[in-house]
Amino acid sequence: MKPAPFEYQAPASLDAALDILAHRVGDIGEAKVLAGGQSLIPVMNFRLAEPALLVDINKLAELDFIRRGDDGGLRIGALTRQRRLERDLSVAEVAPLLHETMPFIAHPQIRNRGTLGGSLAHADPAAELPAIAVALRARFRLRKAGGERWVDAADFFRGLFTTLLEPDEILVEVAIPPLPARTGWAFLEIARRHGDYAQVGIAALVTLDDAGRCREARLVYLSAGDRPIVAREAARLLAGQEISPQAITAAADKASRDEMEPFGDVHATAEFKRHLARVLTGRALRKAAERAERTKGRAA
């Protein structure tokens, strides 16, 4: 037996799951929600986590869905497997940044079990999905017994493995708005092997105006701090500018020097990660701008 003993419940409805959390949390110490378990079970095997109660939400088919939102964006249930996101045609069409990123997440064996909501709630700063959610300005629906709230992805992540989620709340749904017209995207990361955690990664969005200048850029990094890192100042430098080599260099310098706090590790020092971030920023901006250029003809 690798994990320490715990009490196990596998409720058949979301309301039942929320009731368990509402009534039991205070009594028995830490309760964890088990979704895909691809991060939680490993840390339980190491006994880095020893939850007293595991609430398995895998029977909640009501949280497994992908549908179009009224705004033309996407509404995705938290229990949707990553493999389904990877293969879903509406995701490819409406959220191409998310679609393009999926194969970078670990390996097929992991994506067959891993869920969207699980990865977000786990809040690993080296994970792809939190950075993508922040880049896409996703909103998360958090439910608890008798209540719910919507929060912006950018506010949800509070630090290393730390989110806004209260102990009696479950992240149940993710809303992704449609991309503005003339928006290009790029996701890039550097890892020692495919599927490894990235030493650094970037999600970039570039929206062009009618004159072909940058109306808005969004640069979000993973493995660059204790949460998804948004380079707001670098994006500001690009606004109103042509995406020229000079503008790209200025933004890449700004983001990598002043707007991130990467942790060094045995494979890459913090300084090296800044260097990687700087290089990836240039590549991502060029790719995103090219794609934005190509969407010229498409209606808003």
Report the interface residues with another protein, using CB under 8 A.
1-8, 10, 34, 37-38, 41-42, 44-46, 54, 56, 58, 83, 106-110, 112-113, 193-195
Q: Choose between 2 and 298: whose C-beta lies nearer to another protein.
A: 2
Q: Which of 201, 217, 171, 180 is nearest to 103 (CA)?
A: 201
Q: Phi, psi at residue 100, to the nearest 5°? A: -70, -25
CA distance 63 to 55: 14
Task: Give whichever of 34 and 217 is closer to another protein, judged by the CB atom.
Answer: 34
Q: Please report how close the Cβ of residue 6 comes to another protein at its closest, in angstroms.
A: 6
* Least gap, CB of 115 to another protein (angstroms): 13
> What contacts 183, CB < 8 A, 6 or more positions away?
205, 206, 207, 208, 292, 295
C-alpha 56/C-alpha 66 separation (Å) is: 21
Our CB check for another protein shows the closer of 108 and 245 to be 108
Which of residues 44 and 176 has its CB atom nearest to another protein in the complex? Answer: 44
* Inter-axis angle of helices 245-258 and 270-294, nearest 10: 140
Q: Which residue do the tokens 């990361």 mark?
A: 189
What are the phi and psi torsion angles at 251 (to 5°)? -70, -40
Nearer to another protein among residue 42 and residue 245 (C-beta):
42
Can you give the length of the chain in residues? 300
Tell the smallest beta-carbon distance from residue 193 to another protein (Å): 6
